[in-house]
Amino acid sequence: MKTLKSIVNVLVALLIGVIVAVVIKSTVFQFAHVAGPSMQPNLVDREQVAMLNLAPIRHNSVIIFNAQGEDPNATSKIDYVKRVIGMPGDKVQSQNGVIYVNGRQINQNYISHNERNQGTGNWTLSSLGEQHDWQVKSATVPKNMYFVLGDHRSVSNDSRYWGFVQKDKVAGVVKVPFWTSTASQRFNINEAYKHWSTK
């Protein structure tokens, strides 16, 4: 009888452990793989990252979102990884590789001066919306939406071309585990939100 009770206790403990693990994975974090070069040099193709489902989204946060319905070329569910530049209500513009949010120059130390100038372009949200015929045109980032860019600006397919990302499309915030990448690359993904403005 004692043996049967011990077996039942072990099985119950294992079942509880499995349930807790599933709940944590589905609501707290999960692992994902980066696809493509759009976040180089900070994230590389096929790199494994953690995605925190409930983490707050801030300026310079790197997010994973479902691009279907955002990018017109994404005709089925596909996840994109990009950096949040504009939050709801923000006015965003770029001049000669320098990005301004609400008139303040943002910190782009996560990419080189050359990378900013070669790929970012000169624009405002209004000019991008007109040029690319965005579905939602606005001079500021609309409520419950984000403006996102890839770090590898010259190859990234991002908000400059198709517009804003809806909040409910965001799966989570990317964090690079301590055992991967370099210290500076981890900092540029995990900590950049703490240093988003130059002033």
Alpha carbon separation from 159 to 72, 76, 125, 192 (Å, rounded): 12, 18, 9, 19
User: What is the overall mean pLDDT for the chain?
Assistant: 87
Sorted by sequence, the CB contacts under 8 Å of residue 151 that are 6+ apart come out as 38, 39, 40, 41, 42, 43, 83, 110, 111, 115, 188
Tokens standing for 188?
């540029």
Confidence of residue 121 (pLDDT cuts 50, 70, 90): confident
Query: What's this model's pTM, rounded to 2 decimal places?
Result: 0.85
Confidence of residue 20 (pLDDT cuts 50, 70, 90): very low
* Contact present, 178 and 186 (Cβ < 8 Å): yes
* Contact present, 158 and 38 (Cβ < 8 Å): yes
> What's residue 114's pLDDT?
86
22-38 pLDDT, tens digit each: 434 444 678 888 999 99
> What's residue 153's pLDDT?
94
Amino acid at the residue 121: G
Mean pLDDT value across residues 165-179:
94
* Contact present, 154 and 189 (Cβ < 8 Å): no
Mean pLDDT value across residues 126-147:
96
